[in-house]
Structures are given as structure tokens and as C-alpha cells.
Structure 1
Amino acid sequence: MPRPRSLTPAQLASAALAVIDREGLAGLSMRAVAQQVGMSTMALYRYIDDREELEQLVIESVLGAVDTTPPATDGSWQERIEILVHRVRDSVGAHPGVVPLIITHRHRSAGLMRWSESVVGILTEAGLDGRKRVIALRCLLAYVVGAIQLEHLGSLAGPGTESIAGLSRTEFPHLADTARRARTVDADEEFHGGLATLLRGMET
């Protein structure tokens, strides 16, 4: 592979995402990204200071692609929030290995700040303010990140659920029954149902 004369932040982020998609977050390193773009590790340091900066580029690449435009006002505030949440799910879901990076870099992500601003605007229009609005935003952020992580790394229908379904019905009757029923719940139903439950709890 010929060595590029220069690398843009977007090219670096794309290379890092390719590494994460192929090898998982554990495989991300300056060396791996350097190999991805066809240059030496030392040469890569001409463009970026360290892995932390690389991670930040990755997060901005993924979250920066999210459409943060507030949805049309003809729907309910819950429906508008759902649209924004699903935009994040679609973008991050294409690269689930980056989820831990969102937790680490969320306060420095311009993309996430723009998304949060749109969400807070809708919550404000719905009558949530002060402490209620703080809690609502944090709950939504926690739900989005956690649900995406569970969907790709430990869904209700995964091996762990099968193990729980086999627990003693005498000792764990409710848990074992719930796990057995979880076999019929797909990722979309789980995500939509959880989000709807959360939003109903926010009603003023």
C-alpha cells in the first residue's frame, strides 16, 4: 500500500474504525492504525499525539454523523425524542465496539453535545425543567448507551439468558420464567419497549 502524503482527521478516524470493527476495541492501537493506513507507527505521530486523541476522533466520526436536527413539531414530544434516540442507535449500532469510548469521551464530544441540546430543547417544550430535566437527559443518555451495549454484547436472547432459563424454578421462579420468555423478545422490541417505558415515566 503506498504511503499517503498526508492524512486528514477523517481518514484517521476511518482507519481506527476499521480496526475496531475488525478486531474490537481491544485491538485499537497506534500501531494497528498505522498499519491500516500503510505507514510506520512513528510516522503516525506526526498527525496525532496519542491514543486518547485517536479515540476522540473516532467518537466524533460516529456521533458527528448523527442528524441532530430536532424532528418536526407535529408529533408528540415522546415521538420526537424517540426519533433522536434511534438516530444515535443506528449510527453507533454500525460500530458497537465504540460504545465504551462514548462513556469515556462523552463530555468532550461535540456531536453528543449537539444531540443533547436538541433533546433538552424538546424536554423543555414538554414542560420539564430544573432537576427533572437534568434527570431526564441523564436517563436518556444512560439508556441509549446501555441498550446499544446490551443489544450487541449481551442481548436478552443470548447465551447468558439460556443459562438463567435453566435455573431452579423452586429457587428462582420469577427470574427463570422471565429468562424463558426473553427468548421470544427480539432486539427491536426490547429497545422500543424499554425506551417507551422510560419516556412514560418522564411525563409531567
Structure 2
Amino acid sequence: MGRPRVLSRERIRDSALMIIDRSGLGELSMRKLAGELGVQAASLYKHYSTKDEVLDDVASLIVTTVDTSAFDADENWPVALAAWARSYRAALVSHPNMVPFLAGGPGQRDESLRIADSVHGGLVRAGWPPREATLIGAATRSLVLGSTVGSFSRGFVDDVQVYRDRYPHMDQAHLLRAKASEIDTASFELALTAFVDGLRMRFAAA
């Protein structure tokens, strides 16, 4: 038999994310996490004091994939904003069960605060007043989170009779579920484009 793998924060964090991806945020507990790793729960507390500490590390792992480099390179702010929003959404779409936890805010997570600092700094350097930059960052975050917290199209069933007889303008609603990913992405792009275009007008007027 091979030697048992050494327990580490990275192994604990990665196993926690695997449980969340597979079964949902509510299914994560220190007991289940220990079982996944083949250890006693007490072993986990040598590395993490609480489950929330584990979740903070999982959240940090996810947001490390969010790209704000366009802001750091002083790209045109609408391009940088859209690139950040798309990267942010891609990270959340990869781990949708973590969205409710991430929606709670960055707390003291270094990676999340680094992103907020990069976005805010890029917008202010581009000419946005600090207050407006804060609002834009918050609004973009709301747009991204709203597009990932659930799927509009997957909420429909594929039975034509459910909609045809009672809702005359929804006679094609039974087709939505099969195209959910395409519709969800397209609706996000529509909202993002409209948002950025509106900000361009606001910036020009100011």
C-alpha cells in the first residue's frame, strides 16, 4: 500500500469544493469533509478553525480565476469593465453552488479585495469620480451575480400543454429548457451591453 497523503489546507479546500460542486453548499459539513478525505473531523481543525474558514478559502480559489488585467493595463474602461464582468461570470458559472456564499461580499478575502481595488482604481484613473466608480463596481457585481444565481430558462418544463392553453403568448416556452445555456449567456450579454452603453452616455454627459 502507498503511504497516505499528507493532509493540508489545499487538500481540504479542494475536497470541500468537490463536495459543494457535487451536492450543494448546504451539504458541506466538517464531518462530511473529513469522511471525503478519509480522516477524523478533529484532524481538520488543525488546519481550519471553522467551516466558514474553509468556505473563505474555497471562495478565494474561485475568484483567483477572475481577470482584471485590462484595468491594470489601463485599457479603455468600457472594454475593461466588460472583460471583468465576463471573466467574473465564467468563474461563477463553473461553480454555481458557491454563488450564494460569494454573494455575501468579499469580507477580508485578499483575492476579492484585490479585484475590487483593481476595478475601482481603473475606473477612477479613467476619469470616473470615486463615488461613481464604487456604484459601477457594485452594479456590475449585481449584474453578474444575478445572471448566475439561477437559470431563467431551466425553470420551464418541456411539456407544450403546460403553457399553450393558458398562456397564449408563451406557446414556445416549452422549448426554452433545451436551450437554457445559450439563452442564459445571450441574456447576460444583452444586459451587459445595455449597461455599458448606458455608462458610456453617462460618462460623455459628465
> Smaller-chain TM-score range?
0.7 to 0.9
1:89 positional shift: 1.7
Counterpart position of 1:17: 17
Do 1:29 and 1:51's aligned partners in 2 also have CA atoms closer than 8 Å? Answer: yes
Structure 1 pair 201/24, CA: closer, same or farther in 2 (3 Å)?
A: same
Structure 1 pair 190/55, CA: closer, same or farther in 2 (3 Å)?
A: same
- Alignment deviations for residues 106-148 of structure 1 (CA, whole Å, 9 cap, x no partner): 2222222222222223322443213322221110111111112
Matched to 2:192, the amino acid is L
Matched to 1:195, the amino acid is L
Counterpart position of 1:63: 63
Do 1:3 and 1:38's aligned partners in 2 also have CA atoms closer than 8 Å? Answer: no
Structure 1 pair 5/181, CA: closer, same or farther in 2 (3 Å)?
A: closer
Structure 1 pair 131/159, CA: closer, same or farther in 2 (3 Å)?
A: same
1:99 positional shift: 0.5
TM-score in terms of structure 1 length = 0.80
Structure 1 pair 125/156, CA: closer, same or farther in 2 (3 Å)?
A: farther
Whether 1:186 and 2:187 are equivalent positions in the alignment is no
1:200 to 193, 197, 202: 197
Matched to 2:62, the amino acid is V
Do 2:21 and 2:97's aligned partners in 1 also have CA atoms closer than 8 Å? Answer: yes
TM-score in terms of structure 2 length = 0.79
Return 5+ residue gaps in structure 2 as ranges.
none
1:96 positional shift: 0.9
- Over the aligned positions, Cα root-mean-square deviation in angstroms equals 3.0
The whole-number CA distance in structure 2 between the counterparts of 1:61 and 1:160 is: 35
Match runs of 1:18-33 below 5 Å: 18-33=18-33
1:30 positional shift: 0.5
1:55 positional shift: 0.9
Counterpart position of 1:6: 7
Return 5+ residue gaps in structure 1 as ranges.
none
Matched to 2:64, the amino acid is G
Match runs of 1:1-204 below 5 Å: 3-7=4-8, 9-70=9-70, 72-73=73-74, 76-150=76-150, 154-159=151-156, 168=166, 176=169, 180=173, 183=176, 186-203=183-200, 204=203
4+ residue runs over 4 A deviation? 71-74, 160-169, 176-182
Q: How many pairs are equivalent?
A: 194
The whole-number CA distance in structure 2 between the counterparts of 1:28 and 1:2 is: 27
